[in-house]
Amino acid sequence: DDGSGPGSARMPDWFDPDVWPPAALTGLNPVVDVEDISLLLARLDNGVLASYQQCHFTPDYWRNYTVIGDEGRLENFGDGLEGAPATLKVWNRRRSG
């Protein structure tokens, strides 16, 4: 195996932020046959309601996670690739506007 088979390329190997619009990207299969969105809804043993969603067909490569609870919200922005640090924000009080 020379590592060039399907699934061997990772996102940093082919991602170029200067390629825009996304249809200008070359070297991809002409038929994109993936599920667009995966969604999970769950009720945990402790009564917490949880949802998880992934969009698999988007020109952006960005992950963020949000946890909303009785006393606030926790959210991250980015996933720390290529030396760009991920940012974590906490909101624990109400503000107007």
Q: Identify the CA nearest to 14 among candidates 28, 3, 1.
A: 28
Mean pLDDT of the region 54-66: 75
Tokens of residue 76, six digits: 């991250």
**22-46: average pLDDT:** 82
Scan for tokens 């402790």, then name that residue.
46
- Sheet containing strand 66-69, edge to edge, reads 66-69, 72-77, 87-91
CA distance 8 to 10: 6
Band (22; pLDDT cuts 50, 70, 90) = confident
Backbone angles phi, psi at 14, to 5 degrees: -120, -15
pTM greater than 0.75: no
Residues counted in the chain: 97
